[in-house]
Structure 1
Amino acid sequence: MGLTWPAVKDPNEVKDYSLDWSHLLGSSDTITSSTWTVVDGSGLAIDSSSNTTTASTVWLSAGTDVTNYSLLNRVVTAGGRTYDQTVRLKVREK
C-alpha cells in the first residue's frame, strides 16, 4: 500500500486521516516521530497527531468551504532517514 489520501473533507467533520509509509521503510526501518503542518491556507485545524512504526495519523477539524489545503507530513525513522510528503485536501460542504 502506498501513500494515499482522501479527496474531500466537510468543514463540519472531525476526522482522522492516515498515511502508510511501509513501502518506503522496508522490512527493517520504523517511524520514530511524525509531525504535521498546514502549509497553506487558514481555518483548517490540526487537533492531534500520532504514529505507529509504519503509519502517521492526523486528526483534522474545521476548514473553510471551497478551499484547498496543503498539509506536510514529515516522518523521522529509527534508521536516521527523514521523509516528507505533501498532500492536498479539499474542503467542501456536503
Structure 2
Amino acid sequence: MDMFLKDPDAVLDYQVDWAAAISGGQAVVASSWAVSPVESGGLVVLESGLDGAMARVRLGGGVVGHVYEVRNRAGFSDLTVDERSLVLRVEDR
C-alpha cells in the first residue's frame, strides 16, 4: 500500500497500473473507486476512468490531519476481481 500527502485544496490524479496483474490474454474490463472513511468535507472522487490496464482517479477535498484509504477494484475479462489501495494523508502544504 502506497502513502501520499495531499493538500485539502489540491485536485490531484492517481492511478493503478494493472498490467503486471494481467496474464494469458486477460483484459481489465471494469474499474471502480471507493474512499474510506466517507465524511463531511472529506476526500472525494471527482472523476475516474480506465485506459487499457491503467485505472485513473481524480481526487479532491479532505480534512486536514485525516488519513483516507482509496481502493480501486478491477474486474477482468475472465471474471476475476482484484483490489489495490492507496493511503492519503491530508495536510496543509
Per the normalisation by structure 2, the TM-score is 0.87
Equivalenced residues, count: 91
1-structure distance, mates of 2:63, 2:36: 15
Does residue 15 (structure 1) correspond to residue 27 (structure 2)? The answer is no
1-structure distance, mates of 2:47, 2:32: 10
Structure 1, unaligned runs of 5 or more? none
Which amino acid is the alignment partner of residue 55 of structure 1? M
Which amino acid is the alignment partner of residue 49 of structure 1? S
Q: Could you tell me how far 1:76 is from its partner in structure 2?
A: 0.3
Q: How do 1:1-94 residues align onto structure 2 when only pairs under 5 Å count? A: 5=2, 7-26=4-23, 28-42=25-39, 43-94=42-93
Identity within the alignment, %:
24
Q: Could you tell me how far 1:28 is from its partner in structure 2?
A: 1.8
Change (3 A) 1:24 1:48: same
- Matched-pair contact (CA < 8 Å) for 1:5–1:18: no
RMSD after superposition: 1.6
Which amino acid is the alignment partner of residue 58 of structure 1? V
Structure 2, unaligned runs of 5 or more? none
Higher relative contact order (CA 8 A, sep 6+): 2
SS of match in other structure, 1:7: strand
